[in-house]
Amino acid sequence: MTPRLVLLLSSVALSYLAGCGNNPDDRYQLRTDMYTQPSFRHNANPRPPAEGTVQTKGEEIPVRDSLSAAALKNPFTFSRASADTARLLFETYCFPCHGLGAKGDGPVAAKFQTPPDLTTSKEIKAPDGYIYYVIRNGVRIMPPQDENTTQRERWLIISHLRSLQKR
Ligand code: HEC
């Protein structure tokens, strides 16, 4: 080996060794930009609220399981005019599977598993909080609708479902 080759090989080996260190304070760390970047842990909120800030929109009601969810009560008051919004929301997010009258005959039902009729006595007896839980978290094969709907919209949808059950 020529001295030049030895120098080249040892400098390559040295840079590998230096680059492999996990310690950012390592004196021989060649590049630390990827290590010291302001990254966040897996599933961490990428933008945590600044310290001392107060949330203005209110906390989302924690809905951990269907049993504790059953006790949830609607925190909103709805005017008569909101019935139209409620119908629109139901017809946007629930109709495709559940159908206009919530009988389980939406256009998607034919290609998916037929959803249950939501106007039966079993569903009438189901507490509002349970239905809130189902909309937010999904149930068995029903996909959650939490990303599509806000808290207020979920309670509006429940109010529309209740009016369908009275027909
Ligand atoms: C992609 C289709 C789909 C959409 C969209 C959908 N559902 Fe469902 N839903 C289902 C299916 C399927 C079931 C039956 C789930 C099972 O038993 O596996 C179901 C079940 C239910 C139940 C009965 C739960 C129980 O335990 O008895 C309720 C209440 C309900 N859905 C409400 C809603 C509401 C309200 C919306 C709109 C916000 C909605 N669903 C949107 C498919 C859907």
Task: Evaluate whether 144 touches 136 at the Cβ level (below 8 Å).
Answer: yes
| 156 CB within 6 A, ligand 1 | no
What's the 142 CA to ligand 1 centre distance in angstroms? 5
Point out the ligand 1 atom lying closest to the alpha carbon of residue 141: 18
Query: What is the set of domains in the chain, with CATH numbers?
Result: 7-36 (no CATH), 66-165 (1.10.760.10)
Task: Evaluate whether 61 touches 76 at the Cβ level (below 8 Å).
Answer: no
Q: Mean per-residue pLDDT for 36-59?
A: 70
| 143 CB within 6 A, ligand 1 | yes
Q: Mean per-residue pLDDT for 119-136?
A: 96
DSSP 8-class letter at 72: -
pLDDT tens per residue across span 148-166: 899 999 999 999 999 999 9
Instruction: Name the 3-class secondary structure at 142.
Output: strand
Nearest to residue 126, comparing CAs of 74, 77, 69?
69
| 71 CB within 6 A, ligand 1 | no
Nearest to residue 22, comparing CAs of 13, 9, 34?
34
